[in-house]
Amino acid sequence: MELRQLFNKKNIIKPVCIEVRPLCREHWNQAMSLAWYVFNEFDAKDYSERGIESFWEFITDETLHKMFIMGSYHVFGAYDKSRLVGIITLRNETHISLLFVDPEYHRLGIGRRLMAYLCQYVKQEEGYNFITVNAAPYATGFYHKLGFKDTGKEQINDGITYTPMKLFNI
């Protein structure tokens, strides 16, 4: 657990105790709602209408939800008590497909905590020493700060703009 302080709009300090853990089945809709909300706040401006539609189709795909239920698509959540404030997802054992943190909780190290948890999981449970991501334009700086290296140039697929990246020796 990590204890940080969060300033609300009135500059009142609020203690925050963050716990990262696997997402419970009943929190799936909440997690995808968080992803949609944060995507619209920060990422959507960099995407075409097709890209926005593609993202929506991805997070509402019933097959993805079934993969989550069956354990082949992993979702980990960052919780402030019972409030879900961040998510990170893993597919194909080594690939991050979603990483979002509630804007009220930005710059508190939650994204880093989610990444650390995921790296530990991939190394210990999946047996790999690397992870990959297709980073959205808004997130490339964050991933570079964590040590990710570009493995290709910025691309567009189905309207989704991304830069393929890899983190070695996790």
Predicted structure pTM score: 0.90
Total Cβ atoms within 10 A of residue 9: 6
3-state helix, strand, coil in the chain (%, to 5): 40, 35, 25
83 has which bridge partners? 80
Answer whether residue 115 shows pLDDT above 70: yes
H/E segment holding residue 19: strand 13-22
Q: Would you kindly state where each structural domain of the chain is located, as residue ranges?
A: 2-127
Residues 6+ apart with CB under 8 A from 51: 156, 158, 159, 160, 161
The CATH code that applies to domain 2-127 is: 3.40.630.30
Is pLDDT above 60 for 116? yes
The pLDDT score that the predictor gives to residue 3 is 45
